[in-house]
Structure 1
Amino acid sequence: MEDATLPSGDRVPMIVRYADVRALLMSPAASRNLREPGLPRMARGPFLDDDPAALVNQDPPEHTRYRRITHATFTPRNIERWRARTAAIAGELIDAAGQEFDLVADYALPLPARVICEVLGVPIDRYEQFLGWTELFLATNEAREEARAEGMAAFIAYTGELIEQHRAEPGDDLIDLLIAARDGGDGLSEDELVNMVFTLILAGHETTASMIARGTFRLLCHPAQYAELAARPGLLEPAVEEILRHEAPGSNGMLRRLTADVEISAGELPAGSVVLPNLYAADHDPHVFEDPLRFDVHRFAGASPTPHLAFGHGPHYCLGANLARMELQEAFRALVTRLPGLSAQEDLAAVRWAEGFVHRPVRLLVKAG
């Protein structure tokens, strides 16, 4: 355990060992209610932590009810409906990119944006607009605090309009499934529904784009492993799990406020503490993952590998994990099968990385080969 300085400037204890992070994420004492005045904040200004209707900020029993209503919407069977279309979009983007292109701008960003538009039923002509909102909202520097507040308000207002459009003209998109989701006679409130769609657009776009960019960067750092995936596409699923372990979640995790004393390997964390369980650090714990800094597409190919924590653990395990996995599998499948000779067109050690809540290359110049 060590102290970490957040983008807001606040300092909090950071939990880094796999066993401690996993136990903390399972603990009923680890609350996501961070709205009391004076508590440490991830960023200054409006942020996802502020909204009590957001699933990620709820504790039982509200959280339990919310998950129970929405769980069936995100089953592997439901998500499989969009696999073929995701693969087709990936192929279209690669075909349009040409021989030399920026993998971030021409592939990693537009692929999940187009997929989430189709999955949710968002008009594709709004893509550029919600791309701008997402970038504003995930910025962590104080200079953009006012703009972030305005962007968040506009983003949420548009989400409400989108839901109303789906009510007026229902179909079978993910928004329609969420509108219809029930546990007995209980459904999502309007605020909960707006927040779920808002979070899906936010997470389904930027965090997945980050993983495509970071994963491709890592594979280009290991060209022999990229070539092996091109020759053996059957390794793609375990390779995606290694990308998730090695690269995810693109940020250091989300804060927790302790409502009771919690014992971890480094000692006791007192009630009232706000702590940061670092998922990235946990997935690089040498007590759990042999030679954890080594990137190895075979790591998850064996029998019963230790699960990574890229999607979290416990009650707040990522609801959209099945959707994210499917998108990543098809994104990398398209790359290695259509562009088996893909190579970097710049010094990978000099690649510039974006600053903000999600960490990814600003650009990644590549050649089809």
Structure 2
Amino acid sequence: MTTATPQPSDGIIDLRDPDVAADPHALVERVRAAGGSAPALFVDQQPARIFVDDEDVRTILSDRRFVMDPGNVPGEGVRITRADALRGLGLREDLVTYLTESLLQKDGVDHVRLRKLVSRTFTVRRVNELRPSVERISADLLAALPGHADEDGVVDLVEHFAYPLPIAVICDLVGVPEQDRPLWRDWSHRLTRFDPQRPEEMNQVFGELIEHIHGMIEQRRKEPHDDLLDALIHARDEDGDRLNGTELVTLIFTLVIAGHETTAHLIGNGTVELLRHPDQLERLRDEPGLVPAAIHEMLRHRGTAAVSQARYATEDIPLHTGTVVRGERAIAVLWGANHDPDSHPAPDRFDITRHHGRPGENHVAFGHGMHYCLGAALARQEGEVAFTQLLSSYPGLSLVEDRPPRPAFAPGALRLEELPVRLGT
């Protein structure tokens, strides 16, 4: 099934527009001015309706009447499937299934089935057991930073700390060999910066990644280890009803890529926020016990994901700022919920004490409902370790006046391509 690609017009927000992607605050204000919801074109070039109200965002993310798979919309369904949209972006036919079978795209019992296979690895208890390893990796990376400084004494914190820390942790956890990690970093970097105008690059990168995972699985069958990868292979080989071959491959790349991208940009974005708010930085140095609360504020104020994945209404669903009709796609703007003045007084103020002493999360940076981020506890812990050690190791850390942080064009996300800093003394 194919359809003509809709084109943006007056009143329709194009989420592929680099200016929109670069300024989620302006996006949210524009939608708020329109009443809290507005028509849009999503990154797959298909129409949707976007919502910024905190109540609406939480409903879209948690109400089971909103589904990830358009095939689960009853009746005549929707006019274009997810596979059709991927083909429309130019993805090779042999690669389409790997993206439609992802844990992130599953609903109901299928989502629960896949999530159960890996959820024990990400429990709070298991994450706490990992802390000494996270601290060791972080300390080693920080000790090596001076050796990466250029002739002006400038170090790229994204390249040499924000990315290497979480990718080392998740690769250890899943079972990706150390010598392969630079490949994963490169694939992740290119996939998360996908340019819809260059589908040949997406096909090349994604094709290489899928082929590599197949090879990794076959090698592991010959030489078993005791890690998550072995457990998933066992689930596939011993009981195919729990995990099929495509799902196995998809689950591996989802865990590795999603398992480090968010954390890498939490560290990058959070560092920028602290260095741009010296009063908050000084407060954090004076009161290290505020680090967990500071992590939540970094996630709320400038979390990596600005918008959610699309969800489809299985029936007409009234929301606070409008009704989503059956078959229509709804996009929850996480940045909107996290900057909703009704939920977060003075939402544009960066305040590391905002969450101190509060149980749970009052932001949606990790999502909400069934698809709440599986690795949230691990990401928070990595952030706590990273900032505790970074600030104690380099108390004179500062931004570089004539080399500002360089953002990456990534529709729906807030990522840094480069974060030049001086380490100080």
Question: Would the TM-score normalized by the shorter structure come out above 0.5?
Answer: yes
Q: Quote the residue 2:120 is aligned against.
A: 72
Task: Report how far residue 52 of structure 1 moved.
Answer: 3.1
Match of 1:20 among 53, 56, 59: 56
CA distance in 1, matches of 2:100, 2:258: 18
Distance 2:172 2:361 in 1: 34
Provide, for residues 171-210 of structure 1, a one-character-per-residue CA deviation record: whole Å limited to 9, x for no partner.
333323444569x976433322221111011112222212
Aligned to 1:2: 38
**Aligned ranges 1:97-108 → 2 under 5 Å:** 97-98=145-146, 100-108=154-162
Corresponding position: 1:116 with 2:170: yes
Shift of 1:72: 1.9
Q: Which residue of 2 aligns with 1:148?
A: 202
1:327 maps to what in 2?
A: 382
Q: 1:310 and 1:20 mapped to 2: Cα distance?
A: 15
- Look up the match of 1:218: 273
Paired residues of 2:98 and 2:247 also in contact (CA < 8 A): no
The verdict on how the C-alpha distance between 1:312 and 1:48 changes in structure 2, with shifts beyond 3 A counting, is farther
Amino acid at match of 1:227: E
Given candidates 117, 120, 132, the residue that maps to 2:186 is 132
Of the three residues 81, 98, 106, the one matched with 2:129 is 81
Following TM superposition, by how much is the alpha carbon of 1:54 offset from its aligned partner in structure 2, in angstroms?
A: 0.8
Matched, 1:44 2:98: no
For the residue of structure 2 that corresponds to 1:254, the secondary structure is coil
- CA contact under 8 A between 1:233 and 1:337: conserved in structure 2? no
Instruction: Please give the alpha-carbon distance, in whole angstroms, between the structure 2 residues aligned to 1:178 and 1:226.
Output: 42
For residues 361 and 145 of structure 2, what CA distance do their matches in structure 1 show? 37
Asked if structure 2 preserves the Cα contact closer than 8 Å seen for 1:139 and 1:355, the reply is: yes
Distance 2:223 2:42 in 1: 44
1:90 aligns with: 138
Structure 1 letter corresponding to 2:339: H
- Please, which moves more after superposition, 297-306 or 320-329? 297-306
Code of the aligned partner of 2:228: L
Match of 2:339 in 1: 284
Structure 1 residues 294, 367: closer, same or farther in 2, change over 3 A?
Answer: same
Distance 1:96 1:71 in 2: 33
Q: Deviations over 1:138-171 (max 9, x none)?
A: 2232232111112112212212322333333333
Q: 1:176 to 1:327 in 2, by over 3 A?
A: farther
Q: Give 1:337 deviation, angstroms.
A: 1.7
- After TM superposition, give the deviation of residue 225 of structure 1 in Å: 1.5
Q: Distance in 1 between matches of 2:310 and 2:62?
A: 14
Q: Is the 8 A contact 1:54 1:195 kept in 2?
A: yes
Does residue 235 of structure 1 match 2:280? no
Matches within 5 A, 1:152-191: 152-179=206-233, 187-191=242-246
The reply on whether 1:307 has 2:335 as its aligned counterpart is no
Task: Select the residue among 243, 253, 258 that pairs with 2:308.
Answer: 253
- Asked whether the 8 Å contact 2:304–2:415 carries over to 1, the reply is no
Q: Which amino acid aligns with 1:312?
A: G
Q: TM-score, normalised by structure 1?
A: 0.90
Larger Rg: 2
Query: Aligned partners of 2:104 and 2:227: how far apart in 1?
Result: 23
Task: State how far apart, in whole Å, the 1-side matches of 2:386 and 2:369 are.
Answer: 27
SS at match of 1:296: coil
Contact 2:65 2:314 in 1 (8 A): yes
Measure the CA separation in 2 of the matches of 1:221 and 1:108. Answer: 18
| Whole-angstrom CA distance in 2 between matches of 1:181 and 1:317 | 23
Which residue is equivalent to 2:416? Answer: 361
- Cα separation, 1, equivalents of 2:381 and 2:134: 8
Secondary structure at the aligned position of 1:199 is classed as: helix
Give the partner amino acid of 1:125.
Q
| Stretch moving more, 219-228 or 63-72 | 63-72
Deviation at 1:269, TM superposition (A): 1.0
Deviations 1:208-258 (A, max 9, x none): 212211111111111222222223221111111111111113342211111
Aligned to 1:266: 321
Q: Equivalents in 2 of 1:50, 1:69: separation in Å?
A: 18
The CA distance in 2 between the partners of 1:232 and 1:45, in whole Å, is 51
Residue 362 of structure 1 aligns to a residue whose secondary structure is strand
Rounded Cα–Cα distance in structure 2 between residues aligned with 1:275 and 1:9 = 14
Alignment partners' CA distance in 2, 1:355 and 1:239? 26
- Summarize the Cα distance change of 1:8–1:180 in structure 2 as closer, same or farther, 3 Å threshold: closer
Structure 1: runs of 5+ lacking an equivalent: none
Give the distance between the partners of 1:325 and 1:305, measured in 2 at CA. Answer: 12
Query: 8 Å contact 1:21–1:282 — kept in the other structure?
Result: yes
Identity of aligned residues (%): 35
Q: 2:301–2:350: 8 Å Cα contact kept in structure 1?
A: yes
Give the C-alpha shift of residue 86 in structure 1: 1.3
- Superposed counterparts of 1:342-357, under 5 Å: 342-346=397-401, 350-357=404-411
Contact 1:108 1:209 in 2 (8 A): yes
The whole-number CA distance in structure 2 between the counterparts of 1:176 and 1:321 is 23
